[in-house]
Chain A
Amino acid sequence: MATATVRPRKRGRPSGPRVAPYGFLAPAGILFALIFALPIGYAVYLSLRKVEIKGLGLGKNARHEVWAGLSNYTGVLSDHELFAGALRILGYGAIVVPTMLGLALLFALMLDSKHTRAGGFSRLAIFLPYAVPGVVAALLWGFLYLPTVSPFTYLLDKLGLPEPDLFSSGLLFGSLANIAVWGGTGFNMIVIYTSLRAISPDIYEAARIDGASELQIALRIKIPTVAPALILTFFFSVIATFQVFSEPTTLKPLTNAISTTWSPLMKVYQDAFVRGDIYSAAATSVVIAIVTLVLSFGFLKAANSRTDQGAS
């Protein structure tokens, strides 16, 4: 390993450091172009097209793809169901994001505290839901929620307590949010925990010598230091919330309470996969993406300015 032998700096830096970063980023760049940029471009292109039908529309050459201008977009922006879906996920997100990140932060702090027992086991256990595929998780929670097969209603019944209808309009958001929180807390916990571990313990020692209690250390040192990690997990959680799709979709067959367009992304799926209208679906997705972009770029800017202040 190279030691810190100090040599006088040469004049004229080698060109390596100037070219290398671009070279290192090339694979990611090429993949990005292929996997995201090109399909996104194609999706935007599709959002400006539509299909024209001749006659009854059966048989060869009955369908033609033609230019649609912005008609798909006007359709999207005047769609009441889409707007209602957006409001629903705002409510849903208001439950999921604070709960999930709050729990993730709490668990990360607990893991990081001295003298915690069974930390390894707990860390593994809390991360485990992330490993369960969405299809399976929904089946699981379906069994746990449906009154006649659920152990909870069984136990509540035995105890003589009232059994809540987890699919009623009052509790539905909570039931759906629970699945997301259950699945995502572990992941976020690990991210926050890892950035907690990067803090030098000397800082803690100094604080303890100054008489700070564990709680004060947590509030005044730990949380502010992991703020960048919190901000970025917040960013990704918000995006995931705006794009919520698998939880309502897989619970939908079990109950009457969820419509096929409950979340905006379900509407995109409906348009693309059920109605066969990839064009409206593309337009809706572009609108969703732009809204998400606008709302989250602010956070990203804040996060970047903070991380830039730190050494890099």
Chain B
Amino acid sequence: MRNSLIAKATVAVLGAALLAGCSSSSDSTPKAEDTGPVSLTYWAWAPGLDKVVDIWNKKNPNIKVTVKKQASGDDLVTKIITASKAHKAPDLVQAEFQALPTLVSNDVLADISSEAGSAKSEFADGVWQQVTLGSDALYAIPQDTGPLMFYYRQDLFKKYGLTVPKTWDDFAATARALKKKDSKRSLTTFSSNDAGLFAGLAQQAGAKWWTTSGDKWNVGIDDAASKKVADFWGGLVKEGAVDNQPMYTPAWNKALNTGTQIAWVSAVWAPGVLTTAAPDTKGKWAMAPLPQWSAGENKTGSWGGSTTGITTDSKHKAAAAKFATWLNTDPEAVAALVKNGGIYPAATTAQTGSALSTAPEFFSNQPTFYTDAAAIAKTTAAGAWGPNVNVAYSAFKDAFGKAAQNKTDFTSALDSMQSTTVADLKKQGFTVG
């Protein structure tokens, strides 16, 4: 039977392969770039990316890029690492900033400093440093960032006589005031599902979760800045001043849509989410800078943000780098990314460029939306990532989930997150200071 013939052949191949050993050493000899037509694959999840790629393909018939849309998240990182182990990774991949050390550590991303190093001038220092990992190499081109800001229901704030908080103390006061006036509503919720948000808030407070000293890694998840943030939110949850349910659930959508929650600490890409999550509230929200820890300060953190990396498996690194640079710095490309993907570009000129000259439709009541956003983006503190961010995020979900549910001490949750992260680093074989 045909089945068994193919199967027998496969067994022979696989058996031989297994016997030969399953080690994967990556090809280190650089190949001369082909001059003929080139076909590239790109794993990404940003919505509408294929429309942007269409523009490139029309202009560059010799370098054809195909987008393969993936599901975002932790599993994508593992999927690409697995594919890389089997030497089947695509040429280009969308990678979040926090995933870069993990990917580089698994030899997934190639060093493209010679092909694309000149792009440095297009990005802010804090952003660029996250794609070089503090070295001379370049591992990815920044695509979008997510500076944090404060969104609130203008109409409901007026109704309840609330003022827009400028410091976190004001924020706590506003939350309590709202509860007094209407116990059924909350200012916002603390979500144990979204470690990225907490990381951004910690960044604002000055935390640096992973640092290196020589060959050693240091984990500072429980440093003073992060403790401050954890205690602040833990207190509010315990008091009942804010809700404790996860975000991005149907219940959360409903809460935003019906005004049960009237504010959202979120990033610059919030309009896109609000459009789908709370369509009935269009035009009722406003955006303000994130509350600060001391009056007069001007800092913010970042939630999310991704880059375009070129894999070590790619056989056309120069062509891929050319595309990646175009995608993230060319005005036409960035405008298309903004329009189709609803992202906020990392390229500095684009942030004040024509693509962002009008406010998003959802915020038609705030015409200066993007000008304000650009000003806030300038104050973003850089993220400090390490090779096991996934583990830390997962530990966050467990520890803070329990703490939020039981309204217990957030500091011990933070300590638990720290110890899990350190233990995992050691287990993986890293030297931890």
Contact = CB atoms under 8 A, between A and B. Distances in A.
A60 B402 contact: no
Nearest to A49: B22
Contacts of A63: 105-107
The prevalent SS among residues of B at the interface is helix
A65 B23 contact: yes
A245 to B, nearest CB: 13
B248 A62 contact: no
Interface residues of B, number: 60
Contact of A56 (B22, B217, B260, B398): B217
B307 to A, nearest CB: 16
A147 B29 CA distance: 59
Nearest to B387: A57
A54 to B, nearest CB: 9
Contact of A259 (B4, B14, B388, B401): B401
Interface residues of A, number: 46
Contact of B137 (A59, A273, A274): A59
Given A58-B104, A259-B402, A146 B250 contact: yes
B114 interface: no
Interface in B178-203: 192-193
Given A255-B246, A276-B78, A57 B251 contact: no
Contacts of B248: 253
B401 A256 contact: yes
Nearest to A52: B429
Nearest to A269: B75
Interface in B208-237: 212, 215, 217
Interface stretch (B5-13, B167-175, B280-288, B352-360): B5-13
B380 interface: no
Contacts of B431: 53, 55
B378 interface: no
Contacts of B77: 276
A272 B137 CA distance: 29
A52, A256, A260: most-surrounded residue (chain B CB, <10 A):
A256
Contact of A60 (B1, B107, B390, B404): B107
Interface in A134-181: 142-143, 146-149
A309 B253 CA distance: 60
Interface string A261-284: 100000000101111110000000
Interface of A: 26-27, 30-31, 33-34, 38, 42, 45, 50-53, 55-63, 65, 75, 142-143, 146-149, 253-261, 270, 272-277
Contacts of A255: 245-246
Contacts of B8: 30
Q: Which 9 A-B pairs have the closest CB atoms?
A: A53-B429, A256-B405, A146-B251, A256-B401, A273-B78, A30-B7, A259-B398, A148-B251, A55-B215
B329 interface: no
Nearest to A60: B107
21 contacts: A26-B4, A30-B3, A30-B11, A34-B14, A45-B22, A53-B429, A53-B430, A55-B431, A57-B429, A58-B105, A59-B107, A60-B28, A63-B106, A254-B249, A256-B246, A259-B401, A260-B394, A260-B398, A274-B74, A276-B78, A276-B390
A141 B388 CA distance: 33
A287 B429 CA distance: 23
Contact of A270 (B14, B394, B428, B430): B394
Nearest to B28: A60
Contact of B249 (A51, A52, A142): A142
Given A58-B101, A253-B249, A148 B429 contact: no
B192 A274 contact: no
B96 to A, nearest CB: 14
Given A27-B3, A256-B244, A260-B397, A276 B81 contact: yes
B246 A254 contact: yes
A30 B3 CA distance: 9
Interface in B275-317: none
Contacts of B424: 275
Contact of B428 (A51, A55, A261): A51
Nearest to B7: A30
Interface string B73-108: 011011001000000000000000000011011110
Contacts of B28: 60
A146 B249 contact: yes
A84 B402 CA distance: 15
Contacts of B387: 57-58
B374 interface: no
Nearest to B193: A253
A43 B86 CA distance: 16
Given A34-B7, A52-B429, A273-B74, A256 B402 contact: yes
B430 A57 contact: yes
Contacts of B22: 42, 45
A147 B310 CA distance: 45
B156 interface: no
B11 A34 contact: yes
